[in-house]
Structure 1
Amino acid sequence: MKMRDILRWSDVTPKAFWLSRRQLIAGAAAMVATPALARIDAAPSKYSTDAEPNTLEDITSYNNFYEFGTDKGDPARYAGGLTTDPWSVVIDGLVDKPGTYDLADVVKDQPLEERIYRFRCVEAWSMVIPWIGFELAGLLNRVGVQPGAKFVAFETLVRPEEMPGQSSPFIEWPYREGLRLDEAMHPLTILATGLYGEPMPNQNGAPIRLVVPWKYGFKSIKSIVRISLVDKMPPTTWNMLQPSEYGFYSNVNPNVDHPRWSQASERRIGAGLFGGRQDTLMFNGYEAEVASLYAEQDLAVDF
């Protein structure tokens, strides 16, 4: 049975029902991956924020996904043609069990959770998104991280016939991202397969994407087809394009401005043009959980 035969986008659970019917979410999230995951707990993760989530419309209509265009509405317009079933992910480099894994194998035995995370973009806008996913550390532990590995590199699908933005030479495709190994193994870091109890919409990075909630959104790479364990800091797309503006770490930091705008405040999508501005929180509000990762670093230099 294929994922598209199990749940359809037209069956979206209304927000009010999602907030009250936790068991429905658990079942839907489990089926996104494989029926074998139906045992997941419906309770929200202990890492979830208590902030009100954005609407499904907000989350699915206002996106950065340059593979489909540079306008915020382009992903919703053009991503419907992306084929996400079948899907496989190459896991290679410094691992004990390298290989090409079917999506069902990637999520096999990984406990799916509902995680409501703040999501902050470098253009100074933010959302709160109810992801469905599992800790990246669980997958990495299963494939066996070798002692020499220090970083995890990720790549997005390249399929220009379905991703019209890839006809542009502006970016050297594939889109690339990376994390230091301790960042990748942190329990806040997840691979997400859905949101609001539904399979991941194409414009949000179907069928599987990274979510690193204390970093700017461009670090949370979408539509992943390769995960590589490496011993050196990998090249990342925005750092390759403009290293003076986009550092490798890209932690949310209100004290370090982007060269072309301030990062001290942000606009909450869905709160209105003038009513949604708020102070930016250090590490996007996850300072207590992740500040220790950078205790020996100058974050104005390692931005």
Structure 2
Amino acid sequence: MTNIKKIPASEITPEHIYNDRRNFIKNLGLILSSSALSTFANTSFGALNSLPSFAQAKNHGNEKLTSLKDITSYNNYYEFGTSKSDPHDHADLLKIDPWSISIEGSVAKPLKLDVDELIKLIPIEERIYRLRCVEGWSMVIPWVGIPLNSLLKKVSPTGNAKYVEFVSLKRPSEMIGQKDDMLDWPYTEGLRLDEAMHPLTILAVGLYGKVLPKQNGAPIRLVVPWKYGFKSIKAITKIRLVEKMPVSTWMKANSKEYGFYANVNPEVDHPRWSQATERRIGESLLAPRLKTEMFNGYQKEVAHLYQGMDLNRYF
């Protein structure tokens, strides 16, 4: 991606999406870097309406970026309901300012930071990743976030740290889907430590160059592009480094359908449908379905993490 230019935020996304985080990047100088992005140096954002968009390109390789409208209106976020439109319709109830996140457990230097402090500590980057949902739909999203490995290095994991557990917010008065006991709240998820330290794994704080909308997991969420979307825990409040494998929310709910690893593997069918193909959100229902790629197309980067493992068993 080249020839990145600053443009008014109003040309990309409505102001209401990012107004809730009025202090998100106030007076903040950021240095951004990405293999797919020209570097911005010493950029100061004093007013949110001057926040530049990093995602100018209409295509990523041969793939068209999913529209902001589709990304923000078609979501799985059961804390707000089971319908794909529920997050868009109900997430405004959630209060996200102030917000802090703690990093604890088997670490030498535990931290508790406001999200703004976190972004000042670690420069943000743009990463254009596919997101593949287990139900067979996918998106191509220009995320803005921090590499998780940069944060974990700050807390110095001890020798006992083998896994990373993530815990989401539990606040049923605002996250109205939590009034239903269909899942064990708060939502929890986990990665092996080497998965968490992989350079592709990020904590997203924005998309399309804008502050992350509430329905997409604001103010901070996990994005692991080679795994199914249910691994991408939203509204994170706590990160724990632990010795034993965490039991995630969907594993508790149905371990026969949702395993710990959740790597995109088109050769292993979900018990209720095939995983061999997918439909890109925003395209016509009559358009041919796309062939799903192993590890969601990131096989070259991550296959070595699972060398010698039976990926039919460890799903």
The question of a shared fold, defined as TM-score above 0.5 by the shorter chain, is answered with yes
8 Å Cα contact 2:201/2:223 also seen in 1:
yes
Offset of residue 77 of structure 1: 0.1
Q: AA paired with 1:135? A: P
1:158-173 maps to which residues of 2 (within 5 A)?
A: 158-173=170-185
Question: Residues 27-56 of structure 1, C-alpha deviation per residue, up to 9 Å, x if partnerless?
Answer: xxxx8445434332487359x952221000
Cα deviation, 1:128-171, whole Å, max 9, x if unaligned, reads 00100110000000111111100000011111111000000111
C-alpha separation in 2, matches of 1:56 and 1:244: 34
Over 3 Å counting, the alpha-carbon distance change for 1:43 and 1:99 in structure 2 is: closer
One of 131, 140, 146 as aligned partner of 2:152: 140
- Pair 1:287-2:279 in alignment: no
Q: Say which is worse superposed, 271-280 or 289-298, in terms of deviation.
A: 271-280
Take 2:151 and 2:217, find their aligned partners in 1: how far apart are those partners?
19
The match for 1:76 among 88, 96, 108 is 88
C-alpha distance 86-246 of structure 1, shift in aligned 2 (>3 A): same
Aligned CA distance change for structure 1 residues 248 and 295 (closer, same or farther; 3 Å): same
**What is the alpha-carbon distance in structure 1 between the residues aligned to residue 230 and residue 260 of structure 2?**
11
* Aligned-pair Cα RMSD in Å: 2.0
Give the match for residue 40 of structure 1: 32
CA shift at 1:241, angstroms? 0.6
Q: 1:60: how far off? A: 0.2
- One-letter identity of the residue aligned with 1:52: K
Q: What amino acid is aligned across from residue 12 of structure 2 in structure 1?
A: P
Identify which range, 252-261 or 101-110, moves more after superposition. 101-110
CA distance in 1, matches of 2:10, 2:35: 20
User: What is the TM-score normalised by the length of structure 2?
Assistant: 0.84
Say if 2:216 is the partner of 1:204.
yes
Is the Cα–Cα contact under 8 Å of residues 214 and 284 in structure 1 kept in the other structure? Answer: yes
TM-score (norm 1): 0.88
Count of residues in Structure 1 that have an aligned counterpart in Structure 2: 279
1:110-259 mapped onto 2 (5 Å cutoff): 110-259=122-271
Separation of aligned partners in 2, 1:35 and 1:145: 31
Between Structure 1 and Structure 2, the one with more strand by share is 2
Distance 1:72 1:203 in 2: 10
Matched-pair identity in %: 56
More helix by share: 1
CA distance in 2, matches of 1:162, 1:38: 32
Instruction: Judge which range, 33-42 or 195-204, deviates more.
Output: 33-42
Where does structure 1 lack aligned partners over 5 or more consecutive residues? 1-9, 16-30
Alignment check: 8 A CA contact 1:37 1:111 kept? no
